[in-house]
Chains A and B, each alone.
Chain A
Amino acid sequence: MVVEQVVSAADVADSQWGLWEVFAQQEPGAPHQHAGSVHAVDAEMALQNARDVYARRKEAISLWVVPTATISASTPEDVGPFFDPANDKPYRHPQFYKTPRGVKVF
């Protein structure tokens, strides 16, 4: 699970430079998606490293870098209260409802 990796990497005392998460946009209007992470001393170098590691072969038209330590993530213990309630409420899905007779199905 990605969120766990983020949390553990930020928590471990890292003797290297700071860790930055990289988000890349592949085309105009598309969301920035998590591409991976890089080490860097500051934002400018993080951007350059992100460019070299994740955007050298035309994979991106825009990059964001975010200090990993500034990300708040859910913990494994949150899995139950956060996500389980969604599992027992099938009526939240459109498939739960039967199409009434008389309605033409396309």
Chain B
Amino acid sequence: MTAGEHAVLIHLDEAQRADLFEYLLRLGDDRLVLGHRVSEWCGHAPILEEDIALSNIALDLIGQANLWLQLAGQVEAKGRDQDALAYFREAIDFRNVLLVETPNGDFGDTMVRQFFYSMQAMLVLEQLQRSAHTSLAGIAAKAYKESRYHVRHSGEWIIRLGDGTDESHQRVQRSVNDTWRFTGELFEADDVDRRLAAQGIAVDPSVVRDAWHAQMSEVLATATLTVPNAGFSRRGGRAGKHSEHLGHLLAEMQIVARSHPGATW
């Protein structure tokens, strides 16, 4: 722990500490759940090269989750490390957006989900690199580079599927339409976001909505795809109200750690 980081932690009062813990869980859980989802492609991707690419992306996300949850445990200061937070919480305690827990669907569904998520993550991380909290800024800088590659990879696929054959165009347009209702939650901010943003520690996700829409629309236009109209938006993940899918995902992800607590390999 650096001296600067220590100073920031010391100056956090009890309420700020609770806010920051909550915020770090959001960052960490989004990546942990999406990383696990993407890892489900391992051995199932359309070709070997894409199988490796998806596994790389999954590992990037799980690596980021590791860092965010480790910091969350330090901020909480109740003796929970990243493994305790990842493997010994229930679905209701997870703070990820609903988008990242949606099942993989077909390859196009996975790419659209990745693109929508990574674009938001990239725009938030770009600003989060300048956080007043030095540890937070450091993790953001590392994750920002990875997120740029994730945007590029998923974006290029959307262009090729959208501007590909009639079938690929129709299928990926359907993916865009079906996934759309989960995008609103990416930009919802509450008092936790706003209080921390006011202190220069966090980024209020609502501020990147316009940039997200503009850059996303540009890629979809290149892909000859139609951007859906704003409509009904699914929400609740940040408050622990998840779909049934998260429970199944956690059961698989947590079973080994819970069956063999403290195991090492």
Contacts and interface: CB of A to CB of B under 8 A. Distances in A.
Contacts of B50: 49
Contact of A53 (B49, B152, B160): B49
B52 interface: yes
A56 B156 contact: no
A39 B53 contact: no
Contact of A39 (B49, B152, B156, B160): B49
A45 interface: yes
Interface in A4-62: 16-17, 38-42, 44-45, 48-49, 52-53, 56
A38 to B, nearest CB: 5
Contact of A45 (B48, B52, B56, B160): B160
Contact of B47 (A16, A42, A44, A56): A16
Interface residues of B, number: 11
B130 interface: no
B149 to A, nearest CB: 8
B160 A52 contact: no
Given A41-B160, A44-B156, A45-B156, A52 B47 contact: no
A48 B52 contact: no
B241 interface: no
A39 B52 CA distance: 12
Contacts, number: 27
Interface residues of A, number: 14
Nearest to B152: A48
A53 B50 CA distance: 9
Contacts of B160: 41-42, 45
A36 to B, nearest CB: 11
Interface string B47-90: 11110110010000000000000000000000000000000000
A68 B20 CA distance: 52
Nearest to A44: B156
A48 B47 contact: no
B153 A48 contact: yes
Contacts of A45: 156, 160
B156 A53 contact: no
B64 to A, nearest CB: 16
B44 to A, nearest CB: 16
Contacts of A39: 47-49
A39 B46 CA distance: 11
A49 B48 CA distance: 10
Contact of B52 (A17, A41, A42, A52): A52
Interface string B166-207: 000000000000000000000000000000000000000000
Interface in B127-161: 152-153, 156, 160
Nearest to A51: B149
A85 to B, nearest CB: 41
B153 A53 contact: no
Given A16-B47, A39-B47, A52 B53 contact: yes
Interface of B: 47-50, 52-53, 56, 152-153, 156, 160
26 contacts: A16-B47, A17-B47, A38-B49, A39-B47, A39-B48, A39-B49, A40-B49, A41-B160, A42-B160, A44-B156, A45-B156, A48-B53, A48-B152, A48-B153, A48-B156, A49-B49, A49-B50, A49-B52, A49-B53, A52-B49, A52-B52, A52-B53, A52-B56, A53-B49, A53-B52, A56-B56
List 4 tightest A-B contacts by C-beta distance, closest first: A49-B49, A52-B53, A52-B52, A38-B49
